[in-house]
Amino acid sequence: MDAITSEPTTSGPNPPCDVGRRHPRDKHRMRPVDGFDHVWQCARHSLFARLVDKATAESYERGDAYPMHDGGDGVVVQHGDERQGGVILYYRAA
């Protein structure tokens, strides 16, 4: 359940917001969360994304409880694109 930490702090361009991926008129990218590697936020949609390993991503389905990067309770929204040997997992606060 940990983010991939063996990679450099840069993990490519910021991922697109999951809402924007599904609604072409609302395409925009998420911003990095200060203090957390491989974690991004979309303040507009109260959405977060984290780079996790494939096994972790496959163990969660939409609506499953998911521990947030800051220790809070979260809920899985969607699996995203593969990146640097991991998968982007979208989630929001519960």
What is the per-residue pLDDT for 2? Answer: 44
State which residues of the chain have pLDDT below 50.
1-9
What is the per-residue pLDDT for 25? Answer: 80
User: What is the tens place of the pLDDT at every residue in 34-49?
Assistant: 999 999 999 999 999 9
75 in Cβ contact with 64 (< 8 Å): yes
User: Alpha-carbon distance 53 to 10, whole Å?
Assistant: 16
The total domain count for the chain is: 1
| Domain assignment of residue 53, given as a range | 29-93
Is residue 20 domain-resident?
no
Is residue 3 domain-resident?
no
What is the per-residue pLDDT for 12? Answer: 63
Is residue 53 domain-resident?
yes
Is residue 24 domain-resident?
no
Is residue 64 domain-resident?
yes
Give the burial class of 78: count Cβ atoms within 10 A of its Cβ; 0-12 exposed, 13-18 middle, 19 or more buried.
middle
Is residue 39 domain-resident?
yes
